[in-house]
Amino acid sequence: MRVCEVQELGRIGWAAAYQKQRQLVEQRKRNEIPDQLLLVEHDPVVTLGRNSKPQNLLAPASILARAGIGLEEANRGGDVTYHGPGQLVVYPVLNLNDWKRDVHHYVRAIEECVIGALAEFGVAGERSAINSGVWVKQRQTGTLAKICAIGIHVSRWVTSHGFALNIDTDLSHFRYIVPCGLTQPVISLARLGVQASRAQVSDAVVRNFGSVFQLQMAVPETVGERIP
């Protein structure tokens, strides 16, 4: 099996993580390194994707700054999104030449990975026929809320950016944006009543990622704490 190295970067600024990805992407294009999976947690930040619409940013940079939230432009697809503490943000740097040269299939595979990870905590994740990401039903209303956002970039079939899964995120920060340009609410595992640590969620995501993409995951000792 192909090897994918997992890097647990901990809490890191968005710009630093982006620079790290750019370096790894160039190395992966030259086949100097195997596929990579970066696990991070960001300081509060709103990022604007290539397809961002001005009306989906509900507060200017000055207001965001007062709330302790940064603002960055990203070369990923998608609209506006938020990253912050309590989120598991995952950046795959994969060479799709070694898997499937199909961007749509790649996004669906990410969704499958997240759905599989959520199932380990008794949460039924769903896809949307229209929008990317993973959704769950709210217990009180039965309506769908977004628990995982996906935004990717592909250059010469090497991927960057990725997905963000809400564990115990401060959901009030989403009030400054229209997440991904959609009116549906966002939700977290904690809001669903799931008390899972970041290490447990990371472990489930890594394991399912390896299974879906048929990769041997080279995991450092800092990623673990399997679910009992």
What does the pLDDT read at residue 221?
67
Q: Are 41 and 223 in contact (CB under 8 A)?
A: no
What does the pLDDT read at residue 226?
37
- From the list 4, 113, 148, 180, the catalytic residue is 180
Give the DSSP letter of residue 95.
Answer: B
CA gap 155, 151 in Å, rounded: 14
What does the pLDDT read at residue 227?
34
> For 216, what's the count of Cα atoms within 13 Å in the CB-facing half-sphere?
4
Secondary structure (DSSP) of 40-92: EEEPSEEEE-TT--GGGB-S-HHHHHHTT-EEEE-SSSSSEEEE-TTEEEEEE
DSSP-H helix ranges across the chain: 14-29, 61-66, 103-119, 198-213
pLDDT one digit per residue (tens) for the chain, 228 residues: 899 999 999 999 999 999 999 999 999 999 999 999 999 999 999 998 888 888 888 888 999 999 999 998 888 887 889 999 999 999 999 999 999 999 999 999 999 999 999 999 999 999 987 888 999 998 778 789 999 999 999 999 999 999 999 999 999 999 888 776 666 789 999 999 999 999 999 999 999 999 999 999 998 765 544 333
CA gap 2, 98 in Å, rounded: 9
The yes-or-no answer on residue 180 being catalytic is yes
- The predicted model scores a pTM of 0.92
First to last CA, the chain: 27
Q: Are 136 and 145 in contact (CB under 8 A)?
A: yes
What does the pLDDT read at residue 181?
64
Angle at 62 between CA 74 and CA 191, to 5 degrees: 70
